[in-house]
Amino acid sequence: MKIEGDTLEAMALDNYRPHIYVNDTANNQVVVIDRLRNTVLAKWPITLGKKNVAMALDEFRQRLFVGCRSGQIVVLDSNTGKQLQALPIASGIDDLTYDPVTRRIYAAANGVIDVFEQTDLDHYVSRGSTQTGTNGRTAKLVPQLNRLFVAVPSNGRQSARVLLYEPINTPEPKLPQPIQKSRSTLREPKKLSSKPSHPIRSFAEWDCMSFRPGANT
């Protein structure tokens, strides 16, 4: 199907309802698609930030997080599109991740990882930020391993590399379980009794020049 917009960025698939949310960056809005009927249901303007490029979704609590390169995570009600608030982050975001178990949001911007924690439905607390590297704004959270991977491009004499971080004061990671025939029920995660002074710690750094395809190890 065709969406009117010169620049379409991140999207989120809602498994609770037949919706796809798409960042229409050119028009600074979110397009809501009915994936069963292949039709556009709504267009939600983003006014609390500019250049919406990143996106994450809390399906269970019906909150849509939109990362804007102007330096905000705009929180929307995923049912109505109402903008609820804007969380301040570093400018130049590229990746945004929400972990429903720990209720943490990880925003990868220009050399910074900003972390927020969802304390209840509409309240979020900053858990600090971590410096990564120049233009390091591509990140991938692997909840099963409790690891956050951040790609940092080459800069001058510094070769490209992948940084590995470990989120701290989080529940023990759970490895994927075999698919059961019976349907499971989502449960609210337990609140953590202790709060970290820093949300993630550096775990490893891999020089990409050492991991070239076909290189001898």
Rounded to two decimals, the pTM is 0.80
**How confident is residue 6, by pLDDT bands cut at 50, 70 and 90?**
confident
- C-alpha 177/C-alpha 217 separation (Å) is 32
Instruction: Report CA-CA distances (Å) from 181 to 14, 15, 178.
Output: 22, 18, 10
pLDDT digits (tens, 9 = 90+) for 69-81: 999 999 999 999 9
The answer to whether 26 and 43 have CB atoms below 8 angstroms apart is no
The answer to whether 103 and 125 have CB atoms below 8 angstroms apart is no
